[in-house]
Structure 1
Amino acid sequence: MISSFAFFGALETGFIFALVALGIFISFRILDFPDLTVDGSFPLGAAVAASTIVAGLHPLLATLLACIAGSIAGVITALLNVKLKILHLLASILTMIALYSINLRIMSGPNQALLGVETLLTPLDNLVIAGTEIPYYIAYPIAFGVLALVVLGLLVAFLKTELGLAMRATGSNSRMAKANGVNTSAMIILGMAISNALVALAGALFAQSQGSADVTMGVGVIVIGLASVIGGEALLSTRTILLWALACVVGSILYRIVIAFALNGEVLGLQAQDLNLITAVLVTLAIVAPTLKSNMKSKLNGVR
């Protein structure tokens, strides 16, 4: 078993990375656009937020600025693809590589500490509700959970609008969408902007939660996001857009809880350096789970 502190910490990180999962949901599932930009836009959001907060900008404005920076990164990837006709995967890799140097420039070094400065989470450090003091390790996941649900609701509402339906049509069948008058290039640019804005928002919040931003903090973010998306899809129904998006959030939370149990449990004897191994195993299980489930149903029906 894990301690309550570790459990709430897993919830906190799970809700933050739920924003990453929702961003990847837009690019991979809605637009069918394999996007590795997120490995660069996540630390970009962290770098912009941390640097501007240290420079004296209000934390809320710094976080919004991080979202804008992330959206610009997504737009650049989309433009490389739709305007210069560079393969989407290669276009995202090029942007991701460029962002590494840009992040170093923004922070004037490999990292930026946030110790001793006010962040969005500072008011939660001494939160008192109805005369009861709420510990920060409980207040943080509650705040991030509310934010994740709000973003989920706004995203689902957007995807049900005429513009959102055009974006979904672009990902499902771009030729048919174009034949029906949809500007598919604009939909890809808009979708990639929203996707990476959400990822950058997660990076900004993660930096404020951890107390620092680091240029390497984006390594493996795409794998974590995919694990959340695929894992959630394996557990929940994806019949409606709401359930599909909710599956991403649930998958992110469960992924972090499983990681916490694996690393803190004494039975398996795993350590922090085994994180990537655990992630690879979880993603593999999530991918093959639907096939195994289908095969099992077929065998049961055959027996009957």
Structure 2
Amino acid sequence: MSGFINALPGAIGQGLIWGIMAIGVYITFRVLDFADLTVDGTLATGGATLVMTMMAGCNVYVALLLAFLAGCLAGLVTGVLNTVLGIPPILAGILTQLALYSINLRILGKANQPLSAYNYHLIASMTKLSSALIVVAIFVVAIIGILYWFFGTEIGHAIRATGTNMNMARANGININVSKIIALVLSNGLVALSGALLSQYQGYADINMGRGAIVIGLAAVIIGEVIFGKIFKNFALKLLSVAIGGIIYYIVMQFVISLGLNTDDLKLLTAAVVAIFLGIPYLRARYAETHVKAVKEVK
């Protein structure tokens, strides 16, 4: 148990970083109602871009901006494939994700590239955990604030309307293709930003660092909704619940690992956690329906 407690700050830090990625997933999955699988590639794109630009002499903040823009470009490609070429959302995301594997390999030059906190000025390194937690928490709060403002604008409302009812949005003069593209650009930009912070945190970028990211992102979204769905009604609080969901996910993972789980089984555990939390709302609704029926029959 002491090992779990000692590892808790690290799990919280990693959960916060993945929480940013989960917020990006929330934009497409919940707000836009678009199943975007690009994120598995975009996360690695952000990490690779940051590492290589910093190795080339860029300031860490410039590198973060470039990583964000690289993710935005990936989201733009997925959006164009879907809106211009008419490719279904899942296939458009898979195609971009597949292309990004080669692109990320080109950026890195090899499968794995280290980034030492002792040689470069990093703002979120595991070697300085306390300051990393503060910096990442600031990023989370700032992102939630910016998104809360953005989705209150005319463009933001257009995106939300597109996700709620595409036909009605089109009938009201909203260009749904533009709305889709903007949401995908923003979502993948945030995912890449998360990847850039993650590469700093763990001290390297890897070609496979985004594998399974969509599942972790969905886990954070679902955990946040199940636990805080009835409490957090405000849009900003919903985004906060997603970030907290990322923290809870990694705390649960760390706890299970401390019990002696083989790390090779983590993907299996992740799938099980997501399945459980996805099933909870359905089972809860079925229970409520059955309970109402039983009460009516008694009466």
Q: So what's the TM-score if we normalise by structure 1?
A: 0.91
Q: In the aligned structure 2, how far is the partner of 1:119 from the partner of 1:75?
A: 31
Change (3 A) 1:122 1:233: closer
Residue of structure 2 aligned with 1:242, choices 236, 244, 269: 236
The question of whether the paired residues in 2 share the 8 Å contact of 1:54 and 1:117 is answered with no
Q: In the aligned structure 2, how far is the partner of 1:124 from the partner of 1:244?
A: 28
Cα shift readout 1:19-77 (whole Å, capped 9, x = no counterpart): 11100001111111101100000000000000010111111101100000000000000
Which residue does 2:193 correspond to in 1? 201
**Per-residue deviation, 1:5:** 3.3
Change (3 A) 1:123 1:246: closer
Q: Secondary structure at the match of 1:276?
A: helix
Q: In the aligned structure 2, how far is the partner of 1:167 from the partner of 1:79?
A: 16
Equivalent positions of 1:141-220 (< 5 A) are: 141-220=133-212
Q: Secondary structure at the match of 2:57?
A: coil
Confirm or deny that 1:276 pairs with 2:267: yes
Mean CA deviation greater in 235-244 or 87-96: 235-244
Mean CA deviation greater in 185-194 or 114-123: 114-123
The question of whether the paired residues in 2 share the 8 Å contact of 1:47 and 1:103 is answered with yes
The residue type equivalent to 2:155 in the other structure is L
Which residue does 1:119 correspond to in 2? 121
**Per-residue deviation, 1:293:** 2.1
Structure 1 portions without partners, runs of 5+: 126-135
Residue of structure 1 aligned with 2:249, choices 246, 255, 266: 255
The question of whether the paired residues in 1 share the 8 Å contact of 2:15 and 2:249 is answered with yes
May I ask how many residue pairs the two structures share in their alignment?
291
Q: Secondary structure at the match of 2:107?
A: helix
Residue of structure 1 aligned with 2:219, choices 222, 227, 250: 227
**Per-residue deviation, 1:296:** 3.4
**Per-residue deviation, 1:298:** 4.1
Which residue does 1:110 correspond to in 2? 111
RMSD of the alignment, in Å?
Answer: 1.7
The question of whether the paired residues in 2 share the 8 Å contact of 1:124 and 1:139 is answered with no
**Per-residue deviation, 1:89:** 0.7
Which residue does 1:89 correspond to in 2? 90
The question of whether the paired residues in 2 share the 8 Å contact of 1:15 and 1:253 is answered with yes
Q: In the aligned structure 1, how far is the partner of 2:25 from the partner of 2:47?
A: 18
Q: In the aligned structure 2, how far is the partner of 1:272 from the partner of 1:121?
A: 28
The residue type equivalent to 1:166 in the other structure is A
Equivalent positions of 1:286-301 (< 5 A) are: 286-301=277-292
Mean CA deviation greater in 149-158 or 290-299: 290-299
The residue type equivalent to 2:189 in the other structure is A
The question of whether the paired residues in 2 share the 8 Å contact of 1:14 and 1:254 is answered with yes
Cα shift readout 1:121-149 (whole Å, capped 9, x = no counterpart): 27996xxxxxxxxxx22222222122112
**Per-residue deviation, 1:299:** 4.7
Which residue does 1:51 correspond to in 2? 52
Mean CA deviation greater in 276-285 or 2-11: 2-11
The question of whether the paired residues in 1 share the 8 Å contact of 2:60 and 2:123 is answered with no
The question of whether the paired residues in 2 share the 8 Å contact of 1:43 and 1:200 is answered with yes
Residue of structure 2 aligned with 1:138, choices 125, 130, 135: 130
Equivalent positions of 1:4-19 (< 5 A) are: 4-19=5-20
The question of whether the paired residues in 2 share the 8 Å contact of 1:50 and 1:114 is answered with yes
Which residue does 2:23 correspond to in 1? 22
Mean CA deviation greater in 169-178 or 76-85: 169-178
Change (3 A) 1:124 1:33: closer
Change (3 A) 1:279 1:67: same
